[in-house]
Structure formats: C-alpha cells, structure tokens
Amino acid sequence: MSTNGDLVEVRLFGPLRTLVGRKSVTLPYAGLKIDDALARFVDDHTDSVRSMLFDSQGRRRRSIILLLNDHTVEDEAQRLRAGDVISVLLPLAGG
C-alpha cells in the first residue's frame, strides 16, 4: 500500500493523453529509476500505450521526450523523489 509520501505525478500529452483518457496520473513511483517508472506505467495500460513509448525490444523510444520537474531528463537512471513530476511528450508530425 502506498502512502502520500511516495507519489509521483506523470503528465501526459497528445495521443498518449487521449489513449489514457487523463491529463495526468499520480502513482507510487518515488524511489524508482525514471525508465522503470515509465515501464511500470505502461504495464497498467493497453498495448497501444506500450507501443507508443517502447520498441519491440522493450527499450524506450528515443523520440520520446521526458521532462522531470520541467527539465529535460539527462539521466534515466536518476531515482524519482516524492512530489516529482514526469512529463511525457510524444513527437508530433503534421503540415
């Protein structure tokens, strides 16, 4: 059981927001590495969400932009702290 002390907010944008049906979710991810938190997030959602974020080998797609507390993630091995906010941005195409 989680407590409020281990919660991290995951903000969603674009088609990912549409698939999940929410602008953000708050989950007990404090202490996890950023990529591990993202993998746990997709475990709770559809295969469509997984394929948006991970390739067929289970590696995070490099086109995905991750922000941690509004700063570009430089180190995916960084551990999350309670109250952190991860923003997941997908590349958009159009004309």
**pLDDT tens digits, one per residue of 26-67:** 999 999 999 899 989 999 888 899 999 999 998 888 889 999
Asked if the structure places residue 95 within a domain, the reply is no
Q: What is the CATH number of the domain that holds 51?
A: 3.10.20.30
State residue 92's pLDDT score.
72
β-sheet bridge partners, residue 10? 25, 86
Query: Quick one: average pLDDT of 76-80?
Result: 89
d(CA 26, CA 71): 19
For the chain, how many structural domains are there in total? 1
For the chain, give the number of residues: 95
Predicted TM-score (pTM) of the model is 0.86
Residue 69, pLDDT above cutoff 80: yes
Closest CA to 81 of 94, 91, 69: 69
Asked if the structure places residue 34 within a domain, the reply is yes
Mean per-residue pLDDT over the chain, rounded: 89
